[in-house]
């Protein structure tokens, strides 16, 4: 018994000497190594101490805070990028490539307010989904002439992360999102075993530990480009740095194991920094994969779809980000080429003095391609065979206008067929929406016995209409009104007649029947290309020459993506995107 106690005492003595030696060496090596690396890379801290004041970024935005101030020069060095602090204007830092896939008919632009909101959503989502985060086990062995110490730290879990400050910057290399003043908690199990030839049996102990992480900073720079009609996301730089660790041990002799804390401070920091960086990179890669599989076309109905392929690299400026999509309506029945737009939508479109997060601009090219598709598919024609009181649909109603018709077909029912004869032309201007089109109204007489319809005359119509657009739950809708109508006789089997006599009658029919039929389709509208899980709020429309703008705020309601841990694979996670 005495021998055992003496052996244990000797073992503890030698262990204390060994741990003091190794802890002091490890702490000094770690400190020297970290400061050496940080000196070389300029990474001593993304944060600089400051007095309680506004937190200020390079863009001039401020945020009330305690004692943190973002130092973007240090952030640039930790990420190895240039954030272009001096360019605070609207200059485009990244232009589209020369080999674009065509001109954009739809241009979505996030304002500075929109970029900040997107950043906040991303930071909150990442915090909610990444934590609790499993950190890989730490296993070390220290050999010396006086013995060997095997130490393991297991069941390391990071949770309760909060972000004191975050920001987003657009520069020449892409988009940089960074966060500072991050706090988090770690819990873990620890155990050591000391063996030596001088000790008759191993000395071992273990317990739990709690770690408070403060002053953590994380940042990532992403580049975005157009590839095969969609956006690709690439992580250019990604890094995490921990300012402070406070470790509390439970179990064992605290006077001895405090040196254990110093010995493993470096490994804990490295494991947490590496795992968070890996998590951000993995999430970005999965998001890139989701972007790759986004549909290139958005179906409208059984006849058409909108081509939403991305036509050029995103346009970046310190104050906005623009992405252009083709925006062409294409036929699902009989696809045919449609001419490219004559003009390109200008980058950075915003409503004047607007503080809205998102502006979606649609050129008249989008609307004219829709008209072409529906005209070519034969949908812009209607048979009018019923009116209240059968007014105008019997030859008796026309006997004073076209006497020959009544004389040849007395008291016969009629059908009026309206068919657009050329794709309608839509013009967008600051005065609103206008459209001109040509159509044929064919007068048919219906046999009372056989119900066979006989065409007897055709009147050409030149129609001009005005319209107002609206936004209904993410759909662009419209309502048209008749502006002007002129008529001319195209052909007749009942002889010539003064066609101006029928103009008032035809105008009434077009206004009261044809236009309401058209408005039934216009009220259904077509959807704006908005990401799933995002809704538009406080939206308004503005007309400009050649395009219309939807100025809106956005709200993330969830469901866009979520992270799920992969079973037993410690420290890994998978990004699952809800489509």
Indicate which CATH number applies to the domain containing 469. 3.15.20.10
Residues listed for the chain: 579
521 assigned to some structural domain: yes
Question: Is residue 167 located within the same domain as residue 38?
Answer: yes
pLDDT score of 408 more than 90 = yes
- Which range is least confidently modeled, 74-78, 259-263, 384-388? 74-78
d(CA 469, CA 476): 7
Predicted confidence at residue 49, as pLDDT, reads 30
Annotate 240-295 with three-state secondary structure: EECCEEEEEEECCCHHHHHHHHHHHHHHHHHHHHHHHHHHHHHHHHHHHHHHHCCC
Tens of pLDDT, residues 90-143: 444 444 343 445 689 999 999 888 989 988 888 887 777 777 888 889 888 878
Predicted confidence at residue 411, as pLDDT, reads 92
75 assigned to some structural domain: yes
Predicted confidence at residue 6, as pLDDT, reads 35
d(CA 28, CA 192): 21
**Whether 61 contacts 167, CB under 8 Å:** yes
Indicate which CATH number applies to the domain containing 283. 3.15.10.10
Comparing 484 with 62, the larger pLDDT belongs to: 484
Last residue of a domain, one of 265, 293, 321: 293
Question: Is residue 388 located within the same domain as residue 264?
Answer: no
Question: Is residue 7 located within the same domain as residue 131?
Answer: yes
Last residue of a domain, one of 259, 293, 327: 293
Tens of pLDDT, residues 271-287: 899 988 888 888 888 88
101 assigned to some structural domain: no
Q: Which string of DSSP letters, residue by residue, matches 38-95?
A: HHHHT-S-SEEE--S-EEE-TTS-EEE-SSEEE-HHHHHHHHT----TT--SS--SBP
67 assigned to some structural domain: yes
pLDDT score of 21 more than 70 = no
Question: Is residue 252 located within the same domain as residue 396?
Answer: no
- Which range is least confidently modeled, 32-36, 316-320, 338-342, 476-480? 32-36
Predicted confidence at residue 440, as pLDDT, reads 97
Comparing 78 with 242, the larger pLDDT belongs to: 242
Terminal-residue alpha carbon distance, the chain: 69
Question: Is residue 286 located within the same domain as residue 390?
Answer: no
Domain total in the chain:
2
Comparing 471 with 576, the larger pLDDT belongs to: 471
Last residue of a domain, one of 277, 293, 309: 293
533 assigned to some structural domain: no
Question: Is residue 249 located within the same domain as residue 393?
Answer: no
- Residue 5 is inside which H or E element, if any? helix 2-41
443 assigned to some structural domain: yes
351 assigned to some structural domain: no
Tens of pLDDT, residues 57-89: 333 333 333 333 344 454 444 444 444 444 434
Comparing 18 with 356, the larger pLDDT belongs to: 356
- Longest pairwise C-alpha distance within the chain: 135
Lookup result for tokens 């469901």: 559
Q: How many CA atoms lie within 13 A of 40 on its CB side?
A: 5
Average pLDDT, the chain: 77
Q: What percent of the chain has pLDDT over 70?
A: 75
Question: Is residue 288 located within the same domain as residue 425?
Answer: no
Predicted confidence at residue 484, as pLDDT, reads 96
d(CA 369, CA 435): 13
Positive or negative, the CA dihedral 260, 263, 265, 269 is negative
Question: Is residue 275 located within the same domain as residue 396?
Answer: no
Q: What tokens were used for 166? A: 């975050």
Question: Is residue 405 located within the same domain as residue 267?
Answer: no
- Could you tell me the residue range of the domain that residue 203 belongs to? 2-94+113-293
200 assigned to some structural domain: yes
- Residue 489 is inside which H or E element, if any? strand 475-492
Tens of pLDDT, residues 298-341: 899 999 999 999 998 988 888 888 999 999 999 999 999 898 88
Question: Is residue 395 located within the same domain as residue 286?
Answer: no
Tens of pLDDT, residues 131-179: 788 888 988 887 877 788 888 889 999 988 889 888 888 877 688 988 9
| Residue among 220, 230, 217 nearest 283 (CA) | 220
Question: Is residue 142 located within the same domain as residue 20?
Answer: yes
């Amino acid at each position: 018994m005495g021998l055992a106690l003496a052996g244990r005492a000797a073992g503890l003595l030698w262990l204390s000497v060994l741990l003091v030696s190794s802890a002091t060496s490890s702490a000094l090596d770690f400190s020297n190594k970290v400061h050496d690396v940080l000196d070389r890379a300029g990474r001593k801290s993304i944060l600089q101490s400051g007095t309680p004041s506004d937190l200020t970024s390079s863009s001039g935005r401020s945020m009330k805070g305690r004692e943190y101030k973002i130092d973007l020069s240090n952030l640039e060095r930790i990420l190895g990028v240039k954030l272009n602090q001096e360019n605070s204007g609207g200059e485009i830092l990244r232009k589209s490539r020369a080999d674009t896939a065509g001109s954009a008919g739809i241009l979505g632009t996030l304002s500075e307010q929109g970029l900040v909101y997107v950043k906040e959503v991303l930071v909150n989502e990442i915090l909610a989904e990444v934590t609790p985060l499993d950190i890989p086990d730490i296993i070390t062995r220290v050999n010396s002439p006086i013995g060997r110490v095997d130490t393991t730290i297991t069941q390391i879990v990071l949770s309760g992360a909060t972000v004191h400050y975050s920001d987003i910057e657009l520069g020449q290399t892409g988009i940089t999102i960074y966060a500072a003043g991050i706090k988090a908690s770690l819990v873990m199990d620890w155990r050591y075993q000391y063996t030596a030839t001088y000790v008759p049996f191993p000395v071992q102990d273990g317990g739990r530990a709690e770690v408070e992480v403060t002053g953590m900073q994380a940042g990532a720079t992403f580049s975005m480009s157009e590839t095969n009609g969609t956006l690709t996301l690439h992580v250019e730089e990604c890094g995490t740095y921990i300012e402070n660790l406070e470790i509390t041990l439970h179990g064992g002799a605290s006077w001895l194991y405090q040196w254990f804390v110093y010995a493993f401070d470096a490994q804990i920091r490295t494991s947490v920094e590496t795992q968070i960086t890996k998590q951000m990179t993995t999430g970005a890669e999965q998001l890139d994969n989701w972007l790759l599989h986004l549909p290139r076309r958005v179906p409208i109905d059984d006849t058409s779809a909108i081509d939403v392929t991305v036509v050029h690299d995103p346009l970046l400026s310190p104050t906005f980000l623009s992405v252009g999509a083709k925006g062409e309506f294409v036929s699902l029945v009989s696809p045919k080429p449609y001419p490219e737009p004559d003009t390109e939508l200008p980058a950075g479109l915003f409503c004047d003095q607007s503080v809205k997060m998102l502006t979606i601009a649609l050129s008249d090219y989008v609307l004219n391609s829709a008209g072409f598709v529906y005209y070519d598919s034969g949908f812009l024609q209607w048979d009018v065979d019923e009116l209240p009181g059968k007014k105008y649909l019997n030859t008796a109603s026309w006997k004073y206008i076209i006497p020959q018709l009544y004389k040849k077909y007395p008291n016969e029912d009629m059908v009026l067929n309206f068919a657009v004869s050329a794709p309608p032309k839509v013009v967008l201007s600051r005065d609103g929406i206008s459209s001109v089109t040509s159509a044929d109204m064919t007068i048919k007489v219906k046999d009372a016995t056989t119900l066979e319809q006989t065409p007897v005359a055709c009147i050409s119509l030149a129609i001009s209409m005005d319209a107002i657009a609206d936004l209904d739950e993410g759909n662009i809708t419209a309502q048209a009104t008749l502006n002007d109508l002129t008529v001319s006789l195209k052909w007749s089997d009942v002889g010539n007649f003064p066609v101006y006599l029928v103009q008032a009658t035809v105008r009434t029919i077009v206004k009261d029947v044809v236009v309401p039929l058209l408005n039934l389709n216009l009220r259904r509208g077509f959807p704006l290309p908005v990401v799933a899980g995002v809704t538009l709020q406080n939206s308004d429309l503005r007309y400009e020459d050649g395009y219309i703008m939807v100025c809106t705020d956005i709200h993330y309601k969830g469901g866009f993506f979520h992270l799920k841990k992969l079973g037993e694979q410690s420290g890994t996670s998978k990004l699952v995107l809800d489509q």
